[in-house]
Structure 1
């Protein structure tokens, strides 16, 4: 891995350095070797939605014993490990090398990370006691229900799910889909975004976040959605019907009309976590490619694959793109540490655009070098590709982030125009005087 060439980790906290060293060993020597066993224990039939492979639980015990637990909650939270966003981002890269096992083994996997941050940042003491504590302890899992099939959910003001107050309860009705984690038998709670005040003139004050126990009457998990044929059992990405689901008033998070405020606080750091895991996946894809093209048994036209110019170029391009993306993502993480997520939205948006697209490019080159094996189940590359393509939608599609970056840049236009006018005026004066 080339991380140390970009960030001098010796300048970061001793606690981070210890955890970082442990995480590298844990992922390389425990998680990656366990991936095949995990797939075997998952099986191929419907039991995949009911069984949690024993190897995963064993990894969780090992990770917790090493202190590799809940590292994602930054130094602002007493429940977390006390790391900065920059420090955790470097560890998130390592977990991305084994994305199916390492994040969950360390209790740092989405969507639980974002949901735990919501409870930690916005939850009432009672909500934290009931839901945050068992999530932090790894006893339950959760889901975040926002996306809907009947509207363009890239603009969250479009969501239609109704949260209506009736007496001392809220009644929820709506259809959601791509709800990650909802298929997991350990999923005990949903955080749902819906409209409590659809007629509010401010479209960003219409929405609220409400807590719904997963076993509440009226919830129907219709089906897991597939990504290029992957259903990602046991967590899945599910379509769910909420029909007259009732929860008490105390299940409202922060207050009615605060939904947008909550999701922005939830998604900012989470986007960086996704991006750094992309870097980890890309590093592993490049390593697989290097191993493949230097294999003496893999020769074409009398040469090792590595002796072909196009392959060398692909390796170099991948190295450059990975390091470029890492610089951008770590810069965004540092900016969050300095000015919080709201002040780093441009940097977060740029990283969110670049990292998944970079990963897709690196994966494509590695898959090509592997030939037909690259798109098979014999390497993790195809599954990585499906995940990477999904991330161009998750937490906001590319076009939304591009629009945000463009708007932020356009705010500089007036100052730039004024500066250029001053330069022109001075240039004209200097030229006039020179003639005299």
Structure 2
């Protein structure tokens, strides 16, 4: 057996360690950590992929979290880091291209479109909407509401969350803009946060007036086209006067919904093009004085807001819709967790928390603190006037004390109304779109 010198033996041992992938250290000199993989976003249909380990995440722990997330209520589950798709649900191949109602995540899309108009100088945050409305529409108090107050849900108008939205389920609304301007003002703007559906419908109309183009056409050209989201792949509902709904009814494939989350995670940059400014997104993701957990139609991670975004850094935001149509986005981590589905009555309220807790536990670079078990939150009563108020429903139909003058079930503001569901494509209903008809939206 040959005799080796001490230095030769040490060299041989270190060489063997390198071959076996063992990290060695000697004295104070440590091996540099491997660079995390980064992918490029694409306007195509297939995102780049990576293994969890390549982006600093433990695959076994992530697999457990995604397995738990992929319960029967979730049609589609996607996890990205650094723009790389690293995990999917078992039904993604069947559901990724089928449009699904994003419900209130539509509000966050409205915020993105408004941000583009602000970037272009066509819309100004602190302008009263009087600067954009046609003469004679709405009274002075409503016209004094600012764009910022609509974006932050602090307009001061009366709110009845369920009653405002129920007529849109059957597309019965004569004119959601007129209805927003008919809702009574309860408080001065900017002093109290209340989750208004009609205020976001009004914001859509204000953006449309500011850019001088149909809201959906502007959104397509400025937001969707750069991301490769085709006009034929989604449906966005309108009321019977042709106004685009802002509070819900953007019916979009999950694969395209995820692209919107990646755009926010990338600070508005898409393949080197600044689709929306990082400055606007930073402001939109900031807590507001009236609600530390809400920015510009986005759920944000302000002080004490861990219920919605457990264990995630302060820059985490959420696009959130009814029945859990959610994008959880953390720009500092390059993280996106996107899912859609139908949450049934009686479903575990701790479900999002438990899934995110599992994903947090899977992080290796960096390590993230465990948010702990879910803490039960107070129930919201459906009888609360902020949730239900029959006058809001009747008013939307042009009836009762909340009806806008000149708006009724057959005509509004001197114009005849389209029939309910008049513009819905074949194969589409309130939850989503499916079917073989060439006119049915979807990714094919």
Question: When the two structures are superposed, what TM-score results if normalisation uses the length of structure 2?
Answer: 0.25
Q: Which has the higher helix share?
A: 1
Tell me which of the two structures has the higher relative contact order, counting C-alpha pairs closer than 8 angstroms and 6 or more residues apart: 2
